[in-house]
Amino acid sequence: MPRTILDPKILRSLVPALSFAVLLGAIFYVQPRTMSYFGLNLMLNLALPIAFATIAQMFILTVNDLDLSIGSFVSLVACITATWLNEAPLLGVVALLGCIAAYAALGALIHLRNLPSIVVTLGMSFVWSGCAILLLPSPGGSAPDWLSGLVKFRMPFIPFSILASLILGLIVHFALMRSATGAVLRGSGGNPQAVERAGWSLLKTKVTMYALAGFFGVMSGMILVGTTTSADANIALRYTLFSIAGVILGGGEFTGGRVSPIGAILGALTLALVGSLLSFLRISPEWQIGAQGIILIVVLALRSLVNRLEERQA
């Protein structure tokens, strides 16, 4: 069967890219000055850590779990980065590695005891927040110089944030969607029993996915601090909801291991840009959250339209 651009399967995978393009176009139209190196950099810098957190969430969703703690986890990482990593780098590195190990351990716990991830991560969100408060009771700290230097690095022609998102997307895409190991990891979300029967360890896949989520969560927190140069215990709480919405906007499904890394990043960027567009439209900040919700709904409506198109063709 020849595939055309109107093939719903292709159209569906294009929805995240299209909605991102439309949004970017609208921003350029409303505020042409953003169509520049600096403009883009400014807008997307804040989106980059969200993209990383979304990728972290995506790994969890791939194995049919949900992480309600990623926001507070990223906040904790931000606090560690702005304090220990700056003042006592060795301690900081150990702490961050410990964070990743804790995520891996959570994966093992959830698998071994067959626990609902929603509840476990809900509980862990309290733990991460508590640790962050202990570490940094009031906003402050400062980013290590090398980190803010890296995030603010002025690439020629392409803003760092765009390049970083691109590289992130490609790396995760090849690792998860194109590699032989990635097929096993995704398969354990699609039909765990089958994967186990084929001789793979579900414990290993779960731990791998959680460790990856922890790793990208750590990256997210570090980049966040690199951008903002300071941290507080609540700095990234909204990432939890953003990351879930981002994966879904990007074409990911809640169950069955159907995800798309590139889509997820586009979804995250789209969500982050919504805020920029609204402020350019001079919409009163009271309505900003609401407008964000409306745009989320519009994008989802678009996707469901495409899905129905597909059904009619089938």
Partner 1 sequence: MSPSASSDRPIVELNDVAKSFGAVKALDGVDFSVRPGECVGVVGHNGAGKSTLMQVLAGTLAHDRGEVRLNGDVVAASDHSVARAHDAGIRCVFQELSLCPNLTVAENTRLRHGSIRGFGWRRQAARLIATKLDEIFPDHGISAGAVVGDLSIGRRQMVEIAANFSATESEPRLVILDEPTSSLDQQVASQLLAYVKRFVEAGGSVILISHILGDIFGTCDRIAVMRDGLIVEERPADKFDRHSLVASMGHVTDEDTPAPQSQASESQRRGEPIVSARPPRQTDDQRLELHPGEIVGLAGLAGHGQTALLRLIHNAARHRSRYASVNGKIAFVAGDRQADGIFPLWTIGQNVTVRSLSALSRLGLLEKGREREMEDRWRETLKIRTPDMGDNILTLSGGNQQKALFARALASDAEIIAMDDPMRGVDVGTKREVYERIRQEAENGRAFLWYTTEFDELVNCNHVYVFRNGLIAADIERDQLSEQKVLHASFEGEAA
Partner 2 sequence: MTTKRSAAGLAGLARSAPWLFSFVGALVIFAVTLAANNWSGAGQIITAALSFGAFYAIVGIGQMFVITTGPGNIDLSVPATIALAGAIAMTTMGGSDAMILPGLAAAIAAGFLIGSFNYLLIWLLRIPPIIATLSSSFIVQSLAIVYGRGLRIAPPPFLAEIATGRVLGVPILAIVTILLAVVMAVVLHRSVYGRSVTAIGQNINAADLAGVRVGTMRFATYALSACFAAFCGVMLAAFSGGASLNMGEEYLLASIAVVVIGGTSVAGGFSNVSGIWGAALFLYLLITMLNTLGVGAGLRQIFTGVIIVAVITLAGGRKKGRG
Query: First-to-last CA distance in the chain?
Result: 12
Cβ contact 128:75 at 8 Å: yes
Site string for partner 1, 191-210 (x = CB under 8 A): x-xxx-xxxx----------
Site string for partner 2, 254-283 (x = CB under 8 A): xx----------------------------
Please say which residue, 48 or 132, places its beta carbon nearer to partner 2. Answer: 132
Calpha distance 304→23 (Å, rounded): 19
Kindly give the residue spans of alpha helices, DSSP state H, lying in the chain.
8-30, 37-45, 47-62, 70-82, 84-87, 89-112, 117-135, 145-151, 160-172, 180-190, 192-197, 202-228, 239-249, 261-280, 285-313
Among 92, 189, 221, 263, binds partner 1 (CB under 8 A): 189
Among 14, 18, 37, 64, binds partner 2 (CB under 8 A): 64
3-state secondary structure (DSSP) of residue 201 = coil
| 205 near partner 2, judged by CB under 8 A | no
Separation of CA 266 from chain center: 10
Segment contacting partner 1 by CB under 8 A, of 96-104, 168-176, 184-192, 226-234: 184-192
Calpha distance 198→207 (Å, rounded): 18
Among 18, 127, 177, 183, binds partner 2 (CB under 8 A): 127
Please say which residue, 6 or 180, places its beta carbon nearer to partner 1. Answer: 180
The site for partner 2 (CB under 8 A) is made up of 64-66, 68, 109-110, 113-120, 122-134, 137, 241, 244-245, 248, 254-255, 286-294, 296-297, 300-301, 303-304, 307
